[in-house]
Amino acid sequence: MKMFEGGLLERKVMAKSGCLSFITTPWEELKPDTYERQLSYKFNHDVSIFGGQVMSTQRKSPLEDEQGWVVNEVMALQDIPFSDHFRVHLRYNLQTLATETCRCDVYLGILWLKDCKFRQRITKNINEKFAHRLKNIFEIAKKEILSENDHSFQQCY
């Protein structure tokens, strides 16, 4: 869950994964056990040939078993062809398994606001790009967490 706290880990991971000018608002309580925040950043040209701006809303609430969180994210992409035709939806199921371990399942969906003749091609590109991007983000997060834990372990001796 550390990855979604808006702290140093999240900023490092997003910067290393190609997100420029990454900004988040603090989590605000909407109702008991439901929180929301806003994110914005730009893709570097390695992530998207168009660059592009991301405006995103994340909402988190506890999983039914209270052993983790579900984070639902709605992304509006800007400065990318046909980006006004769709929204990208992500769902992160973060489950605590044991001390210092967790599991994160990610689900991706696309909400089409307008029809266009490139819909199938855009859907394929979004699925491929986001699958690669999410894998990269979680690999970077894993390395950062292990590095952080290794560093704190070394300070004990």
Q: What pLDDT digit, counting tens, does each position of 6-26 carry?
A: 889 999 999 999 889 999 999
Distance from C-alpha of 23 to C-alpha of 26, rounded to nearest angstrom: 10
Q: Domain boundaries in the chain?
A: 2-150
CATH 3.30.530 fits 2-150, yes or no: yes
**C-alpha dihedral sign at 12, 142, 58, 112:** positive
The reported pLDDT for the residue numbered 4 is 87
Which two structure tokens, joined as six digits, stand for 33?
A: 């056990």
Which two structure tokens, joined as six digits, stand for 148?
A: 């952080």
CA of 111: how far to CAs of 80, 97, 145, in Å? 16, 32, 33
Which stretches in the chain have pLDDT values below 70? Answer: 1, 47, 149-157
Phi and psi at 113, nearest 5°, equal -95, -30
119-155 vs 8-16: helix crossing angle, rounded to 10: 130
The reported pLDDT for the residue numbered 151 is 54
Which two structure tokens, joined as six digits, stand for 44?
A: 């570097």
Which two structure tokens, joined as six digits, stand for 62?
A: 């506890």
What dihedral angle (degrees, nearest 10) is formed by the CA atoms of 24, 94, 97, 143? Answer: -50
CA of 82: how far to CAs of 3, 8, 62, 117, 127, in Å? 30, 33, 34, 10, 16
